Amino acid sequence: MDNYIVSARKYRPSTFQSVVGQKALTTTLKNAILSNKLAHAYLFCGPRGVGKTSCARIFAKTINCQHLTPDGEACNECESCKAFNEQRSFNIHELDAASNNSVDDIRSLIDQVRIPPQVGRYKVYIIDEVHMLSAAAFNAFLKTLEEPPHHALFILATTEKHKILPTILSRCQIYDFSRISVADMVEHLEYVASSEGVQADADALNVIAQKADGGMRDALSIFDQVVSFTGGNITYQAVIDNLNVLDYEYYFRLTEAILESRVRESMLLLNEILNKGFEGQNIITGLTSHFRDLLVCRDEQTLVLFEVGASIRQRYIELARRCSDQFLFKAIELANTCDLNYRASRNKRLLLELTLIQLCQLSHASPQDTSPQKGKIETIPIESKAANISGGASQATGTHAAGQQAPVQPASPVPPAVSVPTSSVPPSNPRKPNMKLGVSIKEFGKEKANNDKSPATGMSASSQQVATPFSQEELVRCWNAFVQTLEEKVYLKNIMINCQPMLQGNFSFEVVVHNPGQQEELTKEGGSILNFLRYNLRNGRIQMKIRIDETNEKHLAYTAAEKFNLLKEVNPAITKLKDEFDLRID
């Protein structure tokens, strides 16, 4: 039986012209040989299987060739070329640094460097996986690498350039090999298939090229595997079955179901895919890439980023016309979020199904629903500090939900309460999130004078002064509705949940808080709270008073100064510590 040679070895490049996908580097090397401008050390770095070691061997053979061709290739007929092709050349030495990484190995190499070549002009030393050398071996190699004999030339190859010492990098000409494109890989696979008498579909070879992820060696290994599976007739279906790749058809069917909001059909499709043995994370990452491909297909300028076969490409373009950019943006975001949360999820299938349900809801969502600003509180700069206790910004609210009424704090003798003044800024309409920012109090005043409608509320100036009566229940309901809009202000939200308002006479209400910190926070946000209540209760005269519960104030310490005084009573030595180190209580 004849010895079988795998395609990765059988079709390994033997000339610069046969190197796939590295035309710029091979042209540079050929020009250096033709002009006789050779460096003493080269570093070839890049991903696996892109031709680093192959180019090093071709370069070593070519510089020792006695009869170069006009285009800078080796003749393969002289004694030096024949010796190299028959693997009996003494001018080319290969060292595997992964297994020969000690100082003694490098010293042995240095001893060999001193011996000049018997045939040819150069002795070439190819050190593969050079990043595996130890730090001591690198240091022992420095002097020889910087000033080798005139007949010695070093070619270092590595996949991890960042692990090499900077002193080594500075002594080498560095060539960065790039990943091989899908188009170049498919073209080379077609050549190999025709040479081997194998029938192969273009779409099938495209899947193999994408699976190889830029490495020609991986692509040829997968090619041999599929040839063994199909018996010499490579089809698209055979490739996806053998490589366990999810068919494009499933992604198209899922997208169709999502666009038509067919939730149950999308869940059945997911179940069908899972039953075929595919991992859930592979499904969601593939769906994310699918939406990304649809996005780049919507514009001819970005179509160059899409690398698939011609027949599937046309199908992507047709489906992309049915999807809006906004839909695809949100779909990619949802799928990517699911991918990030997948590993930490305890119920992974439910996470996938929930993502599909959310995707199905996108097609019927309004622009406001799919906008990133939905539910966010927009800020309007206020010029007058009288409009807000903190001098900060009043805020407009999004969609509100009614809350439950909490027990009212009992009245007790209290110190003077803090009153929040009436803000002249009208509350924003929660149904109009596209509010124009930067409207000041002065501008609102001008609009009131002209009796125009407020751009924030859509109400006239006269209607904003209406004093509609309201009950305690209505006050608490609106209070809790404002709480539901507080997504990021957790501290304020907790205060408003625990401290419910108590209606008093003349359209005013009182809020009893437990400490000065809560009082300060409510005072700071008082303008926003009042604007919301006045608008929803249709009463422009509502006032809010804030006071601290006297019982809590007497027994609990909340501020830094109060905590220090309490600790000082327990341990008087703290005062001495503060004085000796000149500490300050903030």
Confidence of residue 450 (pLDDT cuts 50, 70, 90): very low
> What is the model's pLDDT at position 448?
39
> What is the model's pLDDT at position 465?
60
- Asked whether the beta carbons of 149 and 18 are under 8 A apart, the reply is no
> What is the model's pLDDT at position 451?
41
The dihedral formed by the CA atoms of 562, 565, 567 and 569, expressed in degrees to the nearest 10:
-140
Cut 0.75: pTM above it: no
Q: Is the confidence at residue 429, as pLDDT, over 80?
A: no
> What is the model's pLDDT at position 68?
86
Average pLDDT of the segment spanning 501-511: 87
> What is the model's pLDDT at position 457?
40
* C-alpha to C-alpha distance for 308 and 314, rounded to whole angstroms: 10
Q: Is the confidence at residue 414, as pLDDT, over 50?
A: no
> What is the model's pLDDT at position 35?
87
> What is the model's pLDDT at position 404?
41
* C-alpha to C-alpha distance for 487 and 500, rounded to whole angstroms: 19
- Is 172 strand, coil or helix? coil
Query: In Å, how far are 369, 487, 493 from 375, measured between CA atoms?
Result: 9, 8, 15
* C-alpha to C-alpha distance for 284 and 356, rounded to whole angstroms: 10
Query: In Å, how far are 255, 422, 506, 534 from 539, measured between CA atoms?
Result: 49, 11, 11, 5
Q: Is the confidence at residue 432, as pLDDT, over 60?
A: no
* C-alpha to C-alpha distance for 59 and 36, rounded to whole angstroms: 13
Q: Is the confidence at residue 336, as pLDDT, over 90?
A: yes
Q: Is the confidence at residue 364, as pLDDT, over 90?
A: no
User: Residues 181-199: pLDDT tens digits?
Assistant: 888 888 899 999 998 888 8
User: Residues 51-100: pLDDT tens digits?
Assistant: 899 999 999 999 988 888 888 888 888 888 888 888 888 888 888 888 88
Q: How is domain 7-176 classified at the CATH fold level? A: Rossmann fold (3.40.50)
With tokens 């240095």, the residue in question is 110
Q: Is the confidence at residue 425, as pLDDT, over 70?
A: no
- Is 266 strand, coil or helix? helix
Average pLDDT of the segment spanning 486-502: 86
- Give the Cβ contact number of residue 278 at 10 Å: 17
Q: Give Cα 580 distance to the centre of its chain.
A: 50
> What is the model's pLDDT at position 556?
54
Domain ranges of the chain: 7-176, 182-243, 248-370, 378-552, 556-586
**CATH among 1.20.1250.20, 2.30.110.10, 3.30.1780.10, 1.20.272.10 for 248-370:** 1.20.272.10
**Most confident of the ranges 223-237, 353-367, 405-419:** 223-237
* C-alpha to C-alpha distance for 300 and 333, rounded to whole angstroms: 23
Q: Is CATH 1.10.8.60 correct for 182-243?
A: yes
Longest dimension (CA), the chain: 111
Q: Give Cα 344 distance to the centre of its chain.
A: 17
> What is the model's pLDDT at position 331?
92
- Which of left, alpha, beta for 574 (phi over 0: left; psi -120 to 50: alpha)? alpha
Q: Give Cα 146 distance to the centre of its chain.
A: 42
- Asked whether the beta carbons of 329 and 298 are under 8 A apart, the reply is no
Confidence of residue 310 (pLDDT cuts 50, 70, 90): low
Average pLDDT of the segment spanning 397-426: 42
Q: What percent of the chain has pLDDT over 70?
A: 80
With tokens 């299987």, the residue in question is 49
Q: Is the confidence at residue 174, as pLDDT, over 90?
A: yes
* C-alpha to C-alpha distance for 269 and 194, rounded to whole angstroms: 38
Pairing outcome for strands 152-158 and 41-45: parallel
Confidence of residue 453 (pLDDT cuts 50, 70, 90): very low
Q: Which residues, 6 or more positions from 121, have their beta carbon under 8 angstroms from its beta carbon?
A: 63, 64, 151
Q: Which residues, 6 or more positions from 497, have their beta carbon under 8 angstroms from its beta carbon?
A: 406, 480, 483
